[in-house]
Structure 1
Amino acid sequence: MPSKPSARLAALTVAAVCSAASTVLVTAPAHADGVRIHDIQGDTRISPYAGRQVTDVTGIVTGIRTYGSSRGFWIQDPVPDADPATSEGVFVFTGSTPKGVAVGDAVAVSGTVTEYVPGGASSGNQSLTQITRPAFTVVSGGNPVPAATVIDARSVPAAYAPAGDPAANGSIDALPLRPSAYALDRYESLEGMNVQVSDTRVVGATDPYTELWVTVKPRENRNRRGGTVYGSYDAQNTGRLQIQSLGSAAAFPDANVGDTLAGATTGPLDFNQYGGYTLVANELGTLEEGGLRRETTRRQHAGELSVATYNVENLDPSDDTFAAHAAAIVDHLRSPDIVALEEVQDDNGAVDDATVTAGVTVTRLIDAVEAAGGPRYDWRSVDPVDKADGGEPGGNIRQVFLFDPERVSFTDRAGGDATTAVGVTKVRGKAALTVSPGRVDPASAAFENSRKPLAGEFVFRGRTVIVIANHFASKGGDQSLTSRYQPPSRGSETQRHLQAKAVHDFTAKILTTQKNAAVVALGDINDFEFSRTTEILEGDGTLWSAIKSLPPGERYSYVYQGNSQVLDQILISPSIRRGGTFSYDSVHLNAEFHDQISDHDPQVLRFRP
């Protein structure tokens, strides 16, 4: 296609304005005539034309986005160059719904080349090359869309990303793309182009934002339920790709992990804040169900104590999930003797009026469990200081112990409140808590604007078991796996490391007081079983994460961006581990399903104290 169409072919010219909210990286303004898309894209992540005006950039429209904050259309040059590092597609940002343009139109676009960073520069995200403030001319219509480039297991390298340039704070922006060597380089070399995946397995269920994740590498760290396991910082799973659609939300499939998008899924390859490289489909494959079913653990034996952790995701009295959570506890977890709940909100949820009590919330769940055929649980917790524990503003989330009084008793010791630290003492030669329930080191900077660990003392068949329920600081603010910085920064770890040290040290005090004490530290640790956070918690044998007793393919409680990974853990003291009689189950009933009632899978430990 010629770089400048003949004036007599011009049919329509449309101008649009770039949103002022866009974050762009620009150089000094300049003007460039006669450039093609691959010239604009260049062979690095940053366009050599960033900040410059370009005139009459030609291409075929391959997709139009008419929704969201990033409206516009993609164009692709049907006559590619010979360099596999230079993309032939680019996004034209119009800001509002594009008018007078259709897929298959041949257009000539003039505008400013910018590098848009989804989420802003502080996010660490890569940038998306686009043409902004465009004026375009439709040259002709009804042209064939350039053939889609196939993305499959053969074309995506096994290595994920190059190491960043130390002289550029670890940035990979200026490094020449090597699409045959690194997966992120391969995807970047196709940015904006029409691409296709075929017969791909779903590894991240459809979410409320009408998106899902597939893998183009069906054997890559696959587990028996169809997911892709994230087992180390070097196992980023290069075949993962987010799928969105340019069609209606109602037509998007409700997919679970293990399902298949059969046939071709085709459309432009985008880059966004919440998923990195994303195939925005003009054509979606047909959903074929994989038959995934929610798991059910076995019931504890009479002599076994069953302890579970379950993040119930901002549960408050206005929710309609109480019956479903009750069914999960009764039918799938088999009514554990002790259930540590995370993310229980106060009695009016997100209403910010200084309410901190949670009796209404918890009682609704207890009633629902009993109605579902479970035990009449009793409960203990400590109300937080208003707005001091993070989470949804006004919600005052906290941990709560449910326990079956027919199977286990709670040792109450008065004095525990939001600001009083629980200590360790000795009672009749055994380790005991000074307050029960109580909070671990609530004044520590480690728990600033974060949930304080809840400690409680239980008795099962005459044996004391101390349980510490945790909800560590989230991963919010960490750079993504697709970050422009490689390896990406995990800044949120700093607080979790301090929290892990506090819980470890508290556990060590218990074990110093009583060497063979039975201690269980559990909850939403918000970090992996191989992480430094877990290593600090474990210390030199003080605790051990029991999820590591499972085969590697079973070690996950959460699915994020197509990676099945561990966030929820149950750690045990040496006397429990040495007994050799414990069993562990990650009960997969939420994270892999589009109709989940929580984004976490509960964990269950059974042992004989």
Structure 2
Amino acid sequence: MPSKKSARVAALTVAAVCSAASTVALTSPAHADTVAVHDIQGTTRISPYAGQAVTGVPGIVTGVRTYGSSRGFWIQDPNPDADPATSEGVFVFTSSVPKVAVGDSVTVNGTVSEYVPGGTSSGNQSVTEIVKPTVTVVSGGNAVPAATVIDARSVPAAYAPAGDSAASNSINALTLEPKKYALDLYESLEGMNVQVADARVVTATDPYSELWVTVKPHENASRRGGTVYGSYTSQNTGRLQIQSLGPTADFPAANVGDTLTGTTAGPLDYNQFGGYTLVANALGSLKSGGLERETTQKQKKGELAVATYNVENLDPSDTTFAAHASAIVNNLRSPDIVSLEEIQDNTGAKDDGTTAADVTVTKLIDAIVAAGGPAYEWRSIDPANDTDGGEPGGNIRQVFLFNPQRVSFTDRAGGDATTAVGVEKVRGTARLTVSPGRIAPANTAWNASRKPLVGEFVFRGQTVFVIANHLNSKGGDQALHAQYQPVVRSSEVQRHQQATLVNAFVKDLLKVQRNADVIALGDMNDFEFSDTAKILEGDGELWSAIKSLPRSERYSYDYQGNQQVLDQILVSPSVRRSCDFAYDSVHINAEFHDQISDHDPQVLRFEP
């Protein structure tokens, strides 16, 4: 499951992806006689007429897309066949603004094409289209074919069939079984007029004017109205993306737990950034679920509060400093130590060789003070220019904030972008060779990726080792709705290498001092049940503390209708056994349309 912005950063609109897509190359006869839409769609994902010219294809126009580079319209045959596997709708790609209206009865001549949003290398499914069309309007004002209802009864519990091993696990050639698999049901409705009713929002409206709903309100529901992604075999089949064929200004600003009441109806499309999507001619009315941002408990005098917070490419030009400061002070209750991820350099995305981030960090600290919080001090290590991935020119890195009134930082000189931190034994206890330092920065596991930042802190006389992480992103992984099932998660390879190095460093600490308090935290870019988490945890060296929460509360991120864990705080056995151990995923961002980051911060409280 790819993460968020990695796949979206270059997109201007989800609908405008034709220029980045490709067409499946197929060899077929050059011409076909007059056919119906269901003949074109066929019983598999690839049209039996792909690559062929077709004439006189009849249908009623059910939707018109006038924006982006994917301009065209959908038609649906009002005289369906009896096969539930064959769709009665198809998209007609015109490239320019179509000269038809909803309700027009038309015939279409053109060529059948299989268009792959995102290109064939994405692994996405293809959309059956008629391209280079000649359109004849027979009459106007006709009734649009009744929308097919998508609801909890119609959507199967199983998500997708296993792909054909002889075809790289592709499901393209498999006969559709719409009563058995959710992806097959949606494919059997591709291009058709569909509807959902009274659907709960499970991913908030994003900047691209889209949101996600569920038609299965009880499917892995979180207590705040979302749908939790709890395993690779729990794909939450009721999720569906909603866009609109109307003006974006009219699109509802929805939060998780809100409801689109009444009927939301329109053609069922498939796109690069979400797969099957209801592109609505009619949107239901938004009913608020009353979701509010959470506030964690304040740490007691003898408790150490440690937090991780991905502030999403924060640089001095951003307007979110006051909001982030308020979140840290009021919602996180001013933790003693805060690991920040995605702090950019002083010139942000401008690729001018700047690597220092003191302006960025100082501006945030000043905003925290203005919000009534402590005068945090900070430690970090500037990366070598353009070596740590993220937004080009941004030089993102992890930064430690700490409250000097509550905790002290042990400075030990020598740490820089290329020097590896080590562990040494001094009077029977572990200590870092440099503080702050970076774990194995020259190792190829960290190519174009953030290196972990390690620091040695002291709280009430007790040493605590903190490792701030931002592991390799999930960009490049195949989507859950891909044509390959099970999907390939290619980004795991590097992330597993990184997790192995972090675990090895923790082992070094615990070999020297068995009862050392060690915390590895940050944006791990992977789930608490993933192999990445298992490698980090090792043979008990660490434990992901988010697993102390009920399953319905384990999430820090919301992607394509799935609430999931990306941010984690892992602890050594001595921390796990400590008094007053408490963990909180503080939901202030991921569920809201007006988020200041796409991640929710995590807070751990314990007595060292």
Distance, in Å, in 2 between the alignment partners of 1:140 and 1:120 is 37
Superposition map of 1:452-471 within 5 A: 452-471=451-470
Asked whether the 8 Å contact 2:20–2:117 carries over to 1, the reply is no
Asked whether the 8 Å contact 1:546–1:584 carries over to 2, the reply is yes
Q: Deviations over 1:138-187 (max 9, x none)?
A: 00000000000000000000000000111111000000000000000000
2:433 aligns with 434
2:86 aligns with 86
Distance, in Å, in 2 between the alignment partners of 1:345 and 1:551 is 34
Structure 1 residues 290 and 21 mapped into 2: Cα distance closer, same or farther (>3 Å)?
A: closer
Asked whether the 8 Å contact 1:501–1:537 carries over to 2, the reply is yes
The AA in structure 1 aligned to 2:453 is L
Is 1:53 aligned with 2:49? Answer: no
SS in 1 for 2:194: strand
The AA in structure 2 aligned to 1:31 is H
Asked whether the 8 Å contact 2:382–2:397 carries over to 1, the reply is yes
Distance, in Å, in 2 between the alignment partners of 1:174 and 1:211 is 30
The AA in structure 2 aligned to 1:46 is I
Structure 1 residue 427, shift from structure 2 partner: 2.1
2:365 aligns with 366
Distance, in Å, in 1 between the alignment partners of 2:441 and 2:233 is 35
SS in 1 for 2:106: strand
Structure 1 residue 580, shift from structure 2 partner: 4.9
Structure 1 residue 582, shift from structure 2 partner: 1.0
Identical aligned pairs, as a percentage?
75
Superposition map of 1:489-528 within 5 A: 489-528=488-527
1:604 aligns with 603
SS in 2 for 1:32: coil
Q: State the TM-score, normalized to the length of structure 2.
A: 0.96
Superposition map of 1:323-472 within 5 A: 323-472=322-471
Q: Deviations over 1:552-601 (max 9, x none)?
A: 00100000001000000000001111225310000000000000000000
Distance, in Å, in 1 between the alignment partners of 2:579 and 2:171 is 48
SS in 1 for 2:223: coil
Structure 1 residue 260, shift from structure 2 partner: 0.1
1:232 aligns with 231
2:207 aligns with 208
Superposition map of 1:62-81 within 5 A: 62-81=62-81
Residue range with higher mean Cα deviation, 213-222 or 25-34: 25-34
Is 1:189 aligned with 2:183? Answer: no
Residue range with higher mean Cα deviation, 423-432 or 590-599: 423-432
Asked whether the 8 Å contact 2:478–2:489 carries over to 1, the reply is yes
Q: Deviations over 1:237-270 (max 9, x none)?
A: 0000000000000000000000000000000000
Q: State the TM-score, normalized to the length of structure 1.
A: 0.96
Asked whether the 8 Å contact 1:113–1:131 carries over to 2, the reply is yes
Distance, in Å, in 1 between the alignment partners of 2:578 and 2:299 is 17
Superposition map of 1:6-45 within 5 A: 22-25=21-24, 26-45=26-45
Superposition map of 1:113-128 within 5 A: 113-128=112-127
The AA in structure 2 aligned to 1:47 is S
Is 1:589 aligned with 2:588? Answer: yes
The AA in structure 1 aligned to 2:298 is R
2:572 aligns with 573
Q: Deviations over 1:337-366 (max 9, x none)?
A: 000000000001001100000000000000
Asked whether the 8 Å contact 2:20–2:119 carries over to 1, the reply is no
SS in 2 for 1:31: coil
Distance, in Å, in 1 between the alignment partners of 2:52 and 2:210 is 34
Distance, in Å, in 1 between the alignment partners of 2:427 and 2:407 is 20
Distance, in Å, in 2 between the alignment partners of 1:121 and 1:223 is 35
Structure 1 residues 253 and 20 mapped into 2: Cα distance closer, same or farther (>3 Å)?
A: closer
Q: Deviations over 1:63-115 (max 9, x none)?
A: 0001112110000000000000000000000112112x110000000111010
Structure 1 residue 302, shift from structure 2 partner: 0.3
Asked whether the 8 Å contact 1:43–1:176 carries over to 2, the reply is yes
Q: Deviations over 1:387-407 (max 9, x none)?
A: 000000000000000000000
Structure 1 residue 21, shift from structure 2 partner: 6.3
Structure 1 residues 19 and 126 mapped into 2: Cα distance closer, same or farther (>3 Å)?
A: closer
Asked whether the 8 Å contact 1:425–1:432 carries over to 2, the reply is yes
Residue range with higher mean Cα deviation, 577-586 or 388-397: 577-586
Distance, in Å, in 1 between the alignment partners of 2:335 and 2:233 is 36
Is 1:175 aligned with 2:177? Answer: no
The AA in structure 2 aligned to 1:51 is G
* CA RMSD in angstroms, aligned pairs only: 0.9
Distance, in Å, in 2 between the alignment partners of 1:582 and 1:122 is 46
SS in 2 for 1:581: strand
SS in 2 for 1:33: coil
Distance, in Å, in 2 between the alignment partners of 1:20 and 1:377 is 47
2:95 aligns with 95
Asked whether the 8 Å contact 1:19–1:95 carries over to 2, the reply is no
Asked whether the 8 Å contact 2:526–2:565 carries over to 1, the reply is yes
Distance, in Å, in 2 between the alignment partners of 1:114 and 1:346 is 46
Structure 1 residues 90 and 373 mapped into 2: Cα distance closer, same or farther (>3 Å)?
A: same
Distance, in Å, in 2 between the alignment partners of 1:311 and 1:426 is 33
Structure 1 residue 29, shift from structure 2 partner: 4.6
Distance, in Å, in 2 between the alignment partners of 1:19 and 1:277 is 16
Asked whether the 8 Å contact 1:357–1:383 carries over to 2, the reply is yes
Structure 1 residue 20, shift from structure 2 partner: 7.6
Distance, in Å, in 2 between the alignment partners of 1:194 and 1:565 is 31
The AA in structure 2 aligned to 1:42 is G
Structure 1 residue 131, shift from structure 2 partner: 0.3
Aligned residues between the structures: 591
Structure 1 residue 27, shift from structure 2 partner: 2.1
Distance, in Å, in 1 between the alignment partners of 2:549 and 2:234 is 18
1:295 aligns with 294
- Give the unaligned 5+ runs of structure 2: 1-16
